[in-house]
């Protein structure tokens, strides 16, 4: 069932969709214009001059991390897979605990703008930097594509417009915001959009539960919502579940749009507090997609088909409420969904633009703006040429790829002095080839679970250890390539920052050129 057919089948009011989408887009642009007024230096564009406080930064991280997969995809997966899909919100949230324990504060102390900056500072190697940059760009592009697919789904269902309108609208709004004010502007936008997304799910959920309670309608039927008879997919094996958890836990550590946020904190202590607040914000948020998925198994079981399950959040309010009440609640979730695409895409484009600008445009603000356009055009073309799969599932593949490439570099680069540039490059390339090849092969064999074995569709359980092993073995075989400044860099990463001037990042310029 196509997205536009879902909307037509259940009679959504197009005016509701238009109003919600326009309101979110205009608000985003207005906040971006405010950011333009106060963004002047390169530091503003790349890391908001490292002045973002924990609560503000945590809200912004929540805004960019809670993507289409979280807002729409989790409920859709619960609808079709039942309890097996609960690993997605658990893994998304627990990944931040890994960040808190192993990455947040040391990465902030590195003083870098981007992950490639960190790789070069730690390994003193231009090839390592280049490979890291390439992987960051690939991960960012792959992550943006599901956001654009989600926008196509939402716009088609709620307005009846052609599917290409959604991705194009997201790209235009994101480009305008990122080019206008960079990281400082996007921080304001994403913090606002986190609270919009939370409200967009919480308000309809509260009204739905109140109505069901008043009318005495069943909410879970004594656990019947998770009965296996409602599942439309085969049960997950122990291997696929374990592999998914590994991908989500370790993949979070390497997401470039999340990691760049820790460079915007004033110091390492602020980075740790930010991560703790993010854990709380994510835990609260994921209650609601889970609830929508449970209620969807009771009241929208007809959506448990390919191409329709991700519409559960959008369709459920109209199933419970008629008339103006249903339209108003549908407008809420539509606005929240569009905010999800905008905020995550904005964070990804900022991180990509920072990398592309430094690698190809000398790190200037003008180069940053050019890079922002390039960073959106490629995924836009990919999104228009491909069909949407299950949103949470497609993002899970990106997590597996990230866990197999950038995550080993960060963990070993921070915690093991024996890492060399040759080992880092070999490990990242091995993880990219093994994981990327497995996912691509599974996609070519077909989307059905029976078309390819679990170890191809969920490769993280073996590709992540393989990447770590290759990185360690090659590093030990090339001990002579260990950077001379390793001890100094590690001391900087692990020594708490003393009160005083903030660390200056590379290539700082006094003003917009």
**Predicted pLDDT at 512:** 38
User: What angle (nearest 5°) sits at the alpha carbon of residue 364, between those of residues 361 and 367?
Assistant: 45
Give yes or no for residue 482 having a pLDDT over 80: yes
* Model confidence, pTM: 0.85
Per-residue pLDDT band at 503 (split at 50, 70, 90): very low
Burial 3-30 (b: 16+ CB within 10 A, else e): bbebbeebebbeebbbbbbeebbebbbe
Least confident of 82-86, 136-140, 201-205: 82-86
In tens, the pLDDT along 108-132 reads 787 777 788 889 999 999 999 999 9
Residue 410 in any domain: the answer is no
Model pLDDT for residues 380-408, shown as the tens digit of each residue: 998 888 876 666 667 888 999 999 999 99
pLDDT value at position 461? 95
Number of domains present in the structure of the chain: 1
pLDDT higher than threshold 70 for residue 447? no
Instruction: Establish if 179 belongs to a structural domain.
Output: yes
As given in the structure block, the two tokens for residue 360 are: 């190809």
> Which long-range contacts link 209-214 to residues 24+ away (Cβ below 8 Å)?
209/291, 211/320, 211/321, 212/320
Mean pLDDT, range 460-468, rounded to an integer:
96
Across residues 490-508, what is the average pLDDT?
Answer: 61
CATH code, domain with 364: 1.10.4160.10
State residue 153's pLDDT score.
86
Question: Residue 303 in contact with residue 315, Cβ under 8 Å?
Answer: yes
In a domain, 338, yes or no: yes
Q: State the average pLDDT over residues 329-346.
A: 88
Asked if the structure places residue 51 within a domain, the reply is: yes
Chain-centroid distance, C-alpha 340: 10
pLDDT of residue 37: 56
CA distance 478 to 426: 11
Residue 7 has pLDDT above 60, yes or no: no
Residue 109, token pair as written in the block: 């102390």
Which residue segment(s) compose the domain that 250 sits in? 3-392
pLDDT of residue 304: 82
> How high is the mean pLDDT of the chain?
82
- Which residue, 112, 66, 114, 107, is CA-closest to 271? 107
Residue 196's contacts (CB-CB under 8 Å, 6 or more residues apart) are: 24, 335, 336, 339
411-423 pLDDT per residue, tens = 999 999 999 999 9
Q: What is the pLDDT of residue 508?
A: 41
Contact predicate 72/311, CB 8 Å: yes
Q: Three-class SS of residue 32?
A: helix
Q: What is the pLDDT of residue 505?
A: 45
The percentage of the chain sitting over the pLDDT mark of 70, rounded to a whole number, equals 82
**Tokens coding 271:** 């980075």
pLDDT of residue 110: 79
> Would residue 421 count as lying in a domain?
no
Residue 9's pLDDT is: 47
* pLDDT given at position 343: 84
**For residue 395, which of 80, 149, 90, 196 has the smallest C-alpha distance?**
149
Give the integer Cα–Cα distance in Å for 461 and 244.
8
* Percent of the chain surpassing pLDDT 90: 27
Distance of alpha carbon 189 from alpha carbon 168, whole angstroms? 19
Average pLDDT, stretch 457-471? 95
Work out the pLDDT band at 507, boundaries 50, 70, 90.
very low
Taking residues 472-482, what's their average pLDDT? 95
What digits encode the pLDDT tens for the residues 189-241?
Answer: 888 889 999 999 999 999 998 888 776 665 554 456 777 667 777 667 889 89
Rounded CA-CA distance 23/8 in Å is 23
Determine the pLDDT at residue 496.
76
pLDDT at 511: 39
The residue among 117, 170, 118, 102 whose CA lies nearest residue 375 is 170
10 pLDDT band, cuts 50/70/90, is very low
- Rank 91-100, 138-147, 261-270 by mean pLDDT and report only the highest: 138-147
Q: Which comes out higher in pLDDT, residue 451 or 60?
A: 60
Tens-place pLDDT, residues 340-386: 888 888 888 888 888 888 888 776 778 878 888 888 999 999 888 88
């Amino acid at each position: 069932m196509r997205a536009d057919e879902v909307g037509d089948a259940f009679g959504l009011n197009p005016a509701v969709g238009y109003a919600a989408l326009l309101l979110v887009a205009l608000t985003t642009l207005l906040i971006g214009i405010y950011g333009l007024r106060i963004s002047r230096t390169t530091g503003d564009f790349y890391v908001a001059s490292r002045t973002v406080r924990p609560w503000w930064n945590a809200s912004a991280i929540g805004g960019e991390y809670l993507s289409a997969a979280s807002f729409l995809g989790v409920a859709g997966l619960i609808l079709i897979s039942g309890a097996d899909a609960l690993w997605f919100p658990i893994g998304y949230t627990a990944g931040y605990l890994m960040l808190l324990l192993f990455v947040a504060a040391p990465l902030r102390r590195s003083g870098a703008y981007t992950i490639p900056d960190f790789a070069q500072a730690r390994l003193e190697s231009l090839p390592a930097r280049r490979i890291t940059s390439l992987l960051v760009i690939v991960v960012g592009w792959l992550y943006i594509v599901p956001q654009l697919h989600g926008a196509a789904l939402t716009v088609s269902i709620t307005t009846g417009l052609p599917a290409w309108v959604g991705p194009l609208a997201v790209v235009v709004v994101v480009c305008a915001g990122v080019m206008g004010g960079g990281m400082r502007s996007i921080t304001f936008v994403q913090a606002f959009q986190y609270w919009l997304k939370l409200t967009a799910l919480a308000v309809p959920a509260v009204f739905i539960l109140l109505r069901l309670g008043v009318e005495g309608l069943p909410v879970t039927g004594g656990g019947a919502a998770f009965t296996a008879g409602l599942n439309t997919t085969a049960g997950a094996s122990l291997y696929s579940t374990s592999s998914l958890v590994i991908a989500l836990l370790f993949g979070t550590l390497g997401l470039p749009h999340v990691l760049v946020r820790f460079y915007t904190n004033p110091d390492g202590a602020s980075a740790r507090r930010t991560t703790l607040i993010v854990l709380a914000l994510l835990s609260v948020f994921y209650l609601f997609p889970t609830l929508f998925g449970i209620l969807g198994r009771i009241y929208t079981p007809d959506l448990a088909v390919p191409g329709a399950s991700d519409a559960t959040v959008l369709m459920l309010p109209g199933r419970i409420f008629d008339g103006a009440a249903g339209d108003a609640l549908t407008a809420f979730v539509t606005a929240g969904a569009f905010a999800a695409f905008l905020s995550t895409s904005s964070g990804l484009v900022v991180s990509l633009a920072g990398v592309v600008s430094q690698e190809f445009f000398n790190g200037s603000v003008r180069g940053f703006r050019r890079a922002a356009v390039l960073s959106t055009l490629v995924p836009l073309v990919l999104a228009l040429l491909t069909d949407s799969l299950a949103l949470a599932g497609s993002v899970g593949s990106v997590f597996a790829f990230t866990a197999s490439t950038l995550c080993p570099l960060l963990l070993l680069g921070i915690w093991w002095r024996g890492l060399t540039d040759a080992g880092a490059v070999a490990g990242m390339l091995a993880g990219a080839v093994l994981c990327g090849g497995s996912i691509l092969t599974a996609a070519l064999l077909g989307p059905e679970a029976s078309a390819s074995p679990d170890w191809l569709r969920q490769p993280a359980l073996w590709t992540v250890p393989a990447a770590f092993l290759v990185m360690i073995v090659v590093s030990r075989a090339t001990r002579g390539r260990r950077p001379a400044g390793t001890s100094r860099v590690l001391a900087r990463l692990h020594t708490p920052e003393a009160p005083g001037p903030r660390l200056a990042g590379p290539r700082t310029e006094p003003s917009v050129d």
